[in-house]
Structures are given as structure tokens and as C-alpha cells.
Structure 1
Amino acid sequence: MNNHEIDYELFGDDMQFVQVELDPGETVIAEAGSLMMMDDGIKMETVFGDGSNQNSGLVGKLLGAGKRVLTGESLFMTTFTNERSGKKRVSFASPYPGKIIPMDLSMLGGRIICQKDAFLAAAKGVSVGIEFQRRIGTGFFGGEGFIMQKLEGDGMAFVHAGGTLYEKRLEPGEVIRLDTGCLVAMTREVDYNIEMVKGIKTALFGGEGLFFATLRGPGTVWVQSLPFSRLASRVFAAAPQTGGSSKGEGGVGGLFDLFGGNR
């Protein structure tokens, strides 16, 4: 294997975290800000890109960092290396309610395509790159632009999904359609396209958007019930817009709003 072999354990239900066990000299990479806790003896270091090209010189490091900029991520990632003689553990937490998906890339054809904010952590050696969507419709209306993340290697990677996770195995020629934001990840052989909702009334008044994703098998697809964009829009809609109490709340503040006292 080119990637480090790491052991792991998942904890929790709706707000999960993954605990990675590192043998001496083993390293795991993670998105900045995902660390929850770690044992003494683990060295934390910030690197350009995903850390898979640290021996390729300045140009290679800049190219790795540039790929992350295109996906809207930070220039840097963090590596965690066990520098002691015994086993050490480091834990990474989910950014919002949902599930952590452990993926053994060696069992999934060596490549996974996922939404650009889905990656959480991986064994050192896993390459976190970009995947350009070739179809113009997918690029403009897919909800993620022309670019998605591409995880390549033969080690373990951990991807986060919002809400409840559903894993669907597609047979050859089998098609499913879903909201564009609900797609978490898919294997490399799945055909991904964007279609417009049929019927002008459905498109304008259905409340589900103008486009949905069409996925055609064979391959495996991971779907989330709560995309972060949907969660954020609900929170924003319920938040106070003028610094007062939120809509629907009782109390004196709501009474003053009712009679025009908050002007």
C-alpha cells in the first residue's frame, strides 16, 4: 500500500466523531478545524495541499495547494504523526449533525468523487484533488459548480454527510434522481448529470428548485438527508432580522412587535 494503514473507531450517533489509532510513524491528514482531541506524543504540522506531494519540491506543493483553492478550501491542511513508540489516538469531529462515512479506497476502485466540503480526514498518502464536471449543464446548475473533490489512493478516508445517510448501490443502467445538494459522494463509474424539472408549474411553485441530479449506474452513491446549505437557509430564515426576537416567539418582545413598538 502507498497510504498509511490506520485503524479507527466511530463514536456517537447524530454528532459523530472518528477516533484514529496511529502506530509509531503513522500519519493522518485532516481539514483545518476538524480536530477534537489527541494523545500526547502526536506531532501536529500544517502543510500545503493534502501532504501527498511534500517531496515534489516547491512547484508540486504550490500545485497541490492551488487545487484546494479551486474547490473553495483553505490552502493548508494539518497532519498528525505519532512520534512515540506506542499506539496513539487522535479524534476528528463532524462539523454539523450527521454521519461520518469511513471509505476504504482500495475497495472502491481507488477513487471517490464527493462534494467539496464533505472531506474530513484520511490516511497520509490519500490525494485530495479536484474533479471537473465536463457537462456544461452540470457545471452551471449542479449546485457545486464545475468542480467537486476527488479522493484517490488505497487507504482510508472519512467523509461527512448531513442528517441521515443513505447508501445506494446502482445496477448497470439504473437511474435515481435527487436534489443536487443531497449528493455526498459516488464511485468513479457513476454517470452524473443535471436535468431540469419538467413542467413550468412544478418548476416555479414546487419549492424543490429548477434542477435535480440524475445518477446512472453501475456504482455506489451516498446521499444525505440534510445538506448544510438547507440547514443554513432554515437557520437564517428563523433568525431575527432586526435584532429582536425571532418570529413566532412569545413574550413582551413579540407583543411590542405586534403593536409597532419596535420601530
Structure 2
Amino acid sequence: MNNHEIDYKIYGDDMQFVEIELDPEETTIAEAGSLMMMEDGVSMETIFGDGSGQKGFMGKLFGAGKRLLTGESLFMTAFTNSASGKKHVSFAAPYPGKIIPLDLSLNGGEIICQKDAFLCAAKGVTVGIEFQRKLGTGFFGGEGFIMEKLEGDGMAFIHAGGTMKEVTLSEGEMLRVDTGCLVGMTRGVSYEIEFVKGIKTALFGGEGLFFATLRGPGTVWVQSLPFSRLASRVFSAMPQNPIGRSQGEGSVLGGVFDIFDGD
């Protein structure tokens, strides 16, 4: 294997974190800000790009530039076991959902996933970009022209919002998915955007104007709660009070405050 071979354990249900066990001199890479805790003996180093072993400055610059296009930082963090025994380092999910462990060697060495889905991986995994070649997919696909591409033969971990469903598609089998609910797919899956039929359904159905049409063969990972949907609900529930004072929403006090405010 070209990637470091790591062991792991996932804890929790809705707010999960993954604990990675490192043998001496083993390394895992992660997005900045995802660290939860690490044991004594694990050294932390900020690296340029994804640390997948690009040769020369230009190779590292190109790798970092690809990450910048996906909205990620130019830098990642490498965690190495510098001690003589096994050590552990843990990474937490950014919002409620599931952490999906992916063995790239069992998935054709490549996974295409939505932006911001990547959490951490064994050192050697390349975190690159995947351009959507069709204009319709790029404009209306929910993820834009660019998605993340994970390549290698080791373990990688991505995050999905809410509950995750893994669907295996056979040759020619089709699945329609809300564009925001698509988390990832293997290379063999074709991805297109289809317009919702019927003007009443498109305008008043509440599901948007487009959905993703996925065709096998391959594996697809679907999430029940995209972060954009969660953020929209949170924003709509925020009190429209310029002072920022809580008025006891959902209680009798809320109505009392409304009377005094003249509402």
C-alpha cells in the first residue's frame, strides 16, 4: 500500500467522532479545525496541500490550489505518532450527521464527494477536485462545477448530515436524488441534472426545480439533512429582534413580551 494503514473506531450516534489508532511513525491528515483530542506522543504539523507526496514546490502549489478551488484551506494538518507505542487521535463531525469510513482500495481507488465532506484520511490519500463537464450539472447541481475527489488505496472519512444511506446501483439502474442530498459516489456512476416535470410541481412542490439523476454501476451515498437545509431552518427560526433579546419563544412569556412591545 502507498497509503499509511490505520485502524479506527467511530463513537456516537448523531454527533459522531472518529478515533484513529496510529502505530509508531504512522500519520493521518485532517482538515484544519476538525481535531477533537490527541494523546501525548502524537505530533501535529501544518502541511501545504494534502501531503500526498507531490514532488517539488510547483507540485505542492498545484495540490494546494486544487483544494482552494473546492473552498478548503491551502493547508492541512498531519498528525504523526512519534512515540514507541500505539497512540490515538480523534476528529469530530462539524454538525449532526454520520461519519462514513471509506476504504478507497475497495472502491476503485477513487471517490467523488461534495465540497466540505472530507474529514480526515490516512497519509497518502490525495484530496483533489472533480470538474463537472456538463453546464447543466455545474449550474444546477447544487454543488457547482467543482466537487472533491479522493484518490488512493487507504482509508478516508467523509461526513454526511442527518442519516446516511448507501445505495448500490447495478448496470443501467437509475436513482433520482435531491441535489443537496448527494454526498458521494464511485467513479462508475454517471451524474446528470434533470428538470422537475410539471409547472405546478416545479413551482409549488417545495422540492426545487432540479434533481440529480444517477445511473450505475457503482455506489452512491445519500444524506437526509444537507447542511444548507439545516442552516436555512435555523436562520428562519431566528428571532427578528434588533436588540437580540430572547423573548421566550414557544412559551407564555413570549406572548407577554409581544404585548409590551406593541406587537
* Counterpart position of 1:28: 28
- SS of the residue aligned with 2:137? helix
Q: Partners of 1:58 and 1:240 in 2: how far apart?
A: 50
How many Å separate the matches in 2 of 1:123 and 1:44?
14
Instruction: State the AA in 2 paired with 1:239.
Output: M
Structure 2 residue aligned with 1:183: 182
The answer for the alignment partner of 1:257 in structure 2 is 258
Which letter does structure 1 place at the counterpart of 2:111? I
TM-score (norm 1): 0.95
CA shift at 1:53, angstroms? 2.9
Report Cα offsets for 1:6-62 as digits up to 9, x if no partner.
Answer: 0111111111111100011100000111101111011101111111135x2221111
Partner of 2:137: 138
Structure 1 vs Structure 2: percent identity of aligned residues? 77
Q: 1:12 to 1:252 in 2, by over 3 A?
A: closer
Q: For 1:211, give the aligned amino acid.
A: F
How many angstroms apart in 1 are the aligned matches of 2:209 and 2:192?
A: 14
Whichever residue aligns with residue 127 of structure 1, its letter is: T
Q: 2:43, 2:82 within 8 Å by CA — same for their partners in 1?
A: yes
The one-letter code matched in structure 2 to 1:130 is I
RMSD: 1.4
Query: Is this contact kept in 2: 1:238–1:246, CA < 8 A?
Result: no
User: What one-letter code is carried by the residue in structure 2 that aligns with 1:63?
Assistant: F
1:112 aligns with 2:111: yes
What's 1:217 paired with? 216
Where 1:151 maps in the other structure, the secondary structure is: strand
The AA in structure 1 aligned to 2:250 is: E
Equivalent-residue separation in structure 2 for 1:246 and 1:217 (angstroms): 52
Q: What TM-score, normalized to structure 2?
A: 0.95
Shift of residue 251 of structure 1?
A: 3.8
Amino acid at match of 1:190: V
SS in 1 for 2:222: strand
Matched, 1:69 2:68: yes
How many aligned residue pairs are there? 261
Aligned-partner residue type, residue 73 of structure 2: S
Deviation of 1:252 after TM superposition, in Å, equals 3.7
User: After the TM superposition, which residues 186-201 of structure 1 pair with which residues of structure 2 at under 5 Å, given as runs?
Assistant: 186-201=185-200
Deviation track 1:98-117 (CA, whole Å, cap 9, x = no partner) reads: 11111000000000000011
Aligned structure 1 segments of 4 or more residues deviating by more than 6 angstroms:
none
Query: Quick one: structure 1 residues 246 and 133, their matched pair in 2 at CA, closer, same or farther if it must change by over 3 Å?
Result: farther
How far apart, in 1, do the equivalents of 2:91 and 2:73 lie? 17
Structure 2, gaps ≥5 residues long: none
Deviations 1:182-232 (A, max 9, x none): 011100000001111111111111111111000001100000001111100
Deviations 1:109-165 (A, max 9, x none): 000000011100000000000000001100000111100000000000001111111
Secondary structure at the counterpart of residue 58 of structure 1: helix
Q: Give the structure 1 partner of residue 12 of structure 2.
A: 12
Where do 5+ consecutive residues of structure 1 fail to align?
none
Query: What does residue 52 of structure 1 align with?
Result: 52
Cα distance, 1:28–1:246 mapped onto 2, change above 3 Å: farther
Aligned residue identity for 1:53: G
The corresponding residue for 1:240 is 239
8 A contact 1:170–1:216 mirrored in 2:
yes
Q: Is the 8 A contact 1:239 1:246 kept in 2?
A: no
Distance 2:107 2:85 in 1: 31
